[in-house]
């Protein structure tokens, strides 16, 4: 028996009727709720936990925005929606959704203003030192591989990581601010509540849902729509086994309790298609501080496999998905410094031959790799992976060391990128591309802007963006 999908004609009593039911109060759900009520829709938002926030509140708070935001301008960076579009289309995986990415870029300045208008503070300062989450309260950071090959040749780089003003971790502040706005808005909030089933008419229309609160089931009728904003599925081991088994090698899963795929499964049971279920974001923050980008990353064949100066999410994807997390960062004495997030030195030696023996790499393999690398680095070149000149120097000052980037020793942080197939208005689509009437979704319960390559801030970013669009579309419907 299918269990997630119910016939509304079986309902004896509707406990409540609303225009829009939002399922999940992370950043996508908060944005959807605020926009729905701004449109005048009678809105109920439910949240599995005892309070709002979800995985968004556990994140670094980076929001990927650009195209010339006031913060970018204040920090002296030029950007345009077109350059942002070119970058995202090139970096977000093999076949990003053009329409979504275009809207996301064109609407990014407005999205920044909307966040500021809702009280999210951004200090008008730029932080250079690391990618992603600055240890300071600065507002703007590099959060993707914009300046690394090949993207630097495809689009004019600009930093697009926008971080709420607080030291260390912006996510809790972001969600504190947005949840307070949700509390103040006309929407009703219901905590400790999950959605266990959708009510679907025989013609496909979603007309309500079963909401469970402390074991009690309530039938909620929706006049305009249900917005699924529940998050991804990185905590669902069975789904990971099926769709992204390598992610299980990661020693950190970026998730709140709710990232169990429940919302995706609700949609699928209603006939929705899914997209990119095997796509994952894998962070391997080994090149923090950035001086370590001068190191050389090798795999179990003693070969390089990535340009070391790229975004740490790309390092993680390449190391985990293509090399099963068998990787080491080679440094020499001149560039040696302690990495921020890991420090296990797997081997040291006065020659690369010693290093490769200690690492049990094939004899001669690391020597050959380093010989080619050094030969070109001396000229400030890297024809193999096109690392930028800024981080190129021959590794020729022994002793040499190898930082351990294997999954047993290095921080690999994973979350899922695949989910429900939606259109740019957050309508959940069936496999023919037709909307399932009354069903909307946003955030990591959907396949969003990043379909295979990630930059920090894209999940908070597209959660807000398509959460708002879903709420507007649902408000217009019927």
Q: Which of residues 204-223 bind a second copy (CB under 8 A)?
A: 204
Q: Is 302 in the site for a second copy (CB under 8 A)?
A: yes
Q: Is 241 in the site for a second copy (CB under 8 A)?
A: yes
Number of residues in contact with a second copy, rule: CB under 8 A? Answer: 61
Judged by CB under 8 A, the stretch of 49-57, 123-131, 340-348, 372-380 that binds a second copy is 372-380
Q: Is 154 in the site for a second copy (CB under 8 A)?
A: no
Nearer to a second copy, 54 or 302 (CB): 302
203, 214, 215, 216: residue in contact with a second copy (rule CB under 8 A): 203
> Minimum CB separation from a second copy for residue 226, in Å?
15
DSSP string, 155-185: S-----EE--SSSS-HHHHHHHHHHHHHHHS
Provide the pairing of β-strand 193-200 with 161-162. unpaired
> Minimum CB separation from a second copy for residue 437, in Å?
7
Q: Is 108 in the site for a second copy (CB under 8 A)?
A: no
Residues 6 or more apart whose Cβ sits within 8 Å of residue 73: none
Position of tokens 């590099």?
142
Q: Is 380 in the site for a second copy (CB under 8 A)?
A: no
> How many angstroms separate the CA atoms of 263 and 274, rounded?
12
Position of tokens 């993680």?
316
Q: Is 274 in the site for a second copy (CB under 8 A)?
A: yes
278, 340, 351, 388: residue in contact with a second copy (rule CB under 8 A): 278
Q: Is 5 in the site for a second copy (CB under 8 A)?
A: yes
Nearer to a second copy, 350 or 381 (CB): 381
C-alpha separations of 152 from 81, 157, 225, 446 in Å: 16, 6, 42, 29
22 and 46 Cβ atoms separated by less than 8 Å: yes
> Minimum CB separation from a second copy for residue 385, in Å?
7
> How many angstroms separate the CA atoms of 222 and 270, rounded?
15
Q: Is 322 in the site for a second copy (CB under 8 A)?
A: yes
Q: Is 443 in the site for a second copy (CB under 8 A)?
A: no
54 and 24 Cβ atoms separated by less than 8 Å: yes
Nearer to a second copy, 272 or 474 (CB): 272
Nearer to a second copy, 164 or 435 (CB): 435
Q: Which of residues 66-95 bind a second copy (CB under 8 A)?
A: 94-95
Give 314's Cβ-side CA count (13 Å radius). Answer: 24
Closest CA to 227 of 31, 446, 441: 441
Q: Is 383 in the site for a second copy (CB under 8 A)?
A: yes
Q: Is 153 in the site for a second copy (CB under 8 A)?
A: no
> How many angstroms separate the CA atoms of 277 and 186, rounded?
35
Chain centroid to CA 78: how far?
24
Residues 6 or more apart whose Cβ sits within 8 Å of residue 246: 280, 320, 321, 324
Judged by CB under 8 A, the stretch of 79-87, 130-138, 379-387, 461-469 that binds a second copy is 379-387
Q: Is 10 in the site for a second copy (CB under 8 A)?
A: yes
Q: Is 394 in the site for a second copy (CB under 8 A)?
A: no
149, 333, 372, 394: residue in contact with a second copy (rule CB under 8 A): 372
> How many angstroms separate the CA atoms of 257 and 243, rounded?
19
> Minimum CB separation from a second copy for residue 420, in Å?
11
Nearer to a second copy, 230 or 276 (CB): 276
84: which DSSP letter? Answer: H
For CA atoms 53, 125, 315, 336, give the dihedral sign: negative
Closest CA to 380 of 397, 369, 392: 392
> How many angstroms separate the CA atoms of 304 and 302, rounded?
7
Helical (H) or strand (E) element with 63: strand 63-64
Provide the pairing of β-strand 345-349 with 413-416. unpaired
Structure tokens at 25: 């109060």
Closest CA to 394 of 367, 369, 370, 365: 370
> How many angstroms separate the CA atoms of 400 and 343, rounded?
15
Q: Is 389 in the site for a second copy (CB under 8 A)?
A: no
18, 23, 34, 273: residue in contact with a second copy (rule CB under 8 A): 273
Q: Is 430 in the site for a second copy (CB under 8 A)?
A: yes
265, 281, 288, 406: residue in contact with a second copy (rule CB under 8 A): 265
73, 99, 217, 434: residue in contact with a second copy (rule CB under 8 A): 434
Q: Is 281 in the site for a second copy (CB under 8 A)?
A: no
Nearer to a second copy, 36 or 244 (CB): 244
Judged by CB under 8 A, the stretch of 20-28, 161-169, 267-275, 396-404 that binds a second copy is 267-275
Q: Is 253 in the site for a second copy (CB under 8 A)?
A: no
- Number of helices and strands (H, E) in the chain? 13, 21
> Minimum CB separation from a second copy for residue 222, in Å?
17
Residues near a second copy (CB under 8 A): 1-7, 9-10, 94-95, 202-204, 238, 241-243, 245-246, 261, 264-265, 268-278, 301-304, 322, 362-365, 368-369, 371-372, 375-376, 383-385, 421, 430-437
């Amino acid at each position: 028996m299918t269990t997630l999908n119910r016939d509304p004609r079986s309902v004896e009593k509707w406990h409540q009727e609303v225009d829009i039911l939002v399922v999940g109060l992370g950043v996508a759900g908060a944005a959807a709720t605020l926009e729905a009520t701004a449109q005048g829709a009678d809105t109920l938002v439910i949240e599995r936990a005892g309070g709002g926030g979800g995985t968004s509140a556990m994140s670094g708070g980076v929001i990927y925005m650009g195209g010339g935001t006031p913060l970018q301008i204040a920090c002296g960076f030029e950007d345009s929606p077109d350059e942002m579009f070119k970058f995202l289309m090139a970096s977000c995986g093999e076949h990003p959704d053009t329409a979504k990415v275009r809207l996301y870029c064109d609407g990014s300045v407005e999205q920044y203003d909307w966040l500021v208008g809702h009280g999210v503070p951004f200090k008008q300062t730029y932080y250079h030192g690391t990618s992603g989450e600055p240890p300071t309260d600065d507002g703007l950071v590099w959060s993707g591989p914009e300046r690394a090959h090949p993207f630097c040749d495809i689009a004019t780089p600009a930093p697009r990581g926008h971080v709420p003003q607080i030291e260390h971790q912006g996510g809790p502040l972001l969600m504190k601010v947005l949840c307070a706005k949700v509390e103040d808005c006309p929407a009703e909030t219901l905590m400790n509540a999950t959605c266990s089933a959708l009510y679907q008419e025989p013609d496909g229309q979603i007309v309500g849902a079963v909401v469970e609160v402390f074991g009690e089931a309530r039938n909620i009728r929706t006049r305009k729509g249900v917005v699924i904003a529940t998050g991804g599925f990185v905590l669902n081991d069975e789904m990971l086994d099926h769709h992204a088994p390598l992610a299980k090698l990661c020693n950190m899963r970026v998730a709140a309790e709710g990232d169990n795929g429940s919302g995706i499964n609700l949609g699928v049971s209603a006939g929705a298609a899914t997209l990119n279920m095997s796509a994952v974001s894998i962070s391997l923050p080994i090149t923090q501080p950035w001086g370590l980008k001068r190191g050389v990353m090798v795999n179990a064949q003693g070969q390089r496999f990535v340009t070391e100066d790229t975004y740490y999410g790309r390092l993680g994807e390449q190391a985990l998905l293509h090399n099963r997390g068998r990787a080491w960062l080679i440094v020499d004495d001149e560039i040696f410094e302690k990495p921020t997030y890991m420090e296990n030195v797997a081997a040291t030696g006065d020659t690369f031959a010693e290093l490769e023996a200690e690492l049990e790499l094939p004899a001669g393999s690391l020597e050959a790799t380093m010989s080619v690398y050094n030969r070109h680095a001396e000229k400030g070149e890297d024809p193999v992976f096109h690392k930028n000149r800024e981080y190129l120097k021959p590794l020729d000052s022994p002793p040499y060391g190898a930082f351990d980037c294997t999954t047993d020793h290095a921080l690999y942080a994973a979350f899922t990128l695949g989910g429900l197939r939606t259109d740019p208005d957050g309508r959940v689509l069936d496999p023919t591309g037709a909307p399932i009437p009354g069903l909307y979704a946003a955030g990591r319960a959907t396949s969003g802007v990043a379909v295979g390559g990630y930059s920090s801030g894209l999940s908070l970013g597209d959660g807000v963006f398509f959460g708002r669009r879903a709420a507007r579309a649902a408000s217009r419907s019927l």
